[in-house]
Amino acid sequence: MIKEITCIICPKGCKAAVEIEDMQIKNISGLSCKFGQDYVESEAIHPTRIFFSVIPIIGAKNISVLPVRTKKPIPKDLLKRGMNEIRGIKLNPPIKMGEVIIKNFLDTGTDLVASRDAEPDIDDST
């Protein structure tokens, strides 16, 4: 099988043709330098992505949904499971940017964290 992968390490965006047999890389062609090698190898066999989403937050004065992300990339094929995992969760402020929302997200060894602060909506008009 030949898999085509675009290297995203620099703006040149070389298009690599990766020959794979039995989940083993047999050959890579099309890269202009060695810096794209690790990225293309990893992307060909075990692609990963940072998981991004939002979770509803009740009672915050500045936002109605809290953006969240994993600290590190997780396997790409877990992204959909990640969406299911957070469905139905509702949060309450205060939450600080970087605060862990779900530890060891999907048993990946990385945490799901808040991407911004959420401050409580305190009505001080009384």
Residues engaged in binding ligand SF4 (CB under 6 A): 7, 9-10, 12-14, 31-33, 35-36
Residue 5 vs 112, nearer CB to ligand SF4 = 5
Helical segments of 23-120, H only:
35-45, 79-86
Q: How far is the CB of 123 from ligand SF4 (least distance, A)?
A: 53
Q: How far is the CB of 2 from ligand SF4 (least distance, A)?
A: 17
Residue 10 vs 83, nearer CB to ligand SF4 = 10
For residue 112, what are its two tokens?
């799901």
Q: How far is the CB of 43 from ligand SF4 (least distance, A)?
A: 11
Residue 9 vs 79, nearer CB to ligand SF4 = 9
Using a 10 angstrom Cβ sphere, with 0-12 exposed, 13-18 middle and 19 or more buried, the burial of residue 21 is: exposed
Q: What whole-number distance in Å separates Cα of residue 40 and Cα of residue 20? A: 12
DSSP one-letter code for 32:
S
Q: How far is the CB of 33 from ligand SF4 (least distance, A)?
A: 4
Residue 36 vs 82, nearer CB to ligand SF4 = 36
Residue in 108, 44, 23, 41 with CA at minimum distance from that of residue 73: 108
Q: What whole-number distance in Å separates Cα of residue 69 and Cα of residue 62? A: 19
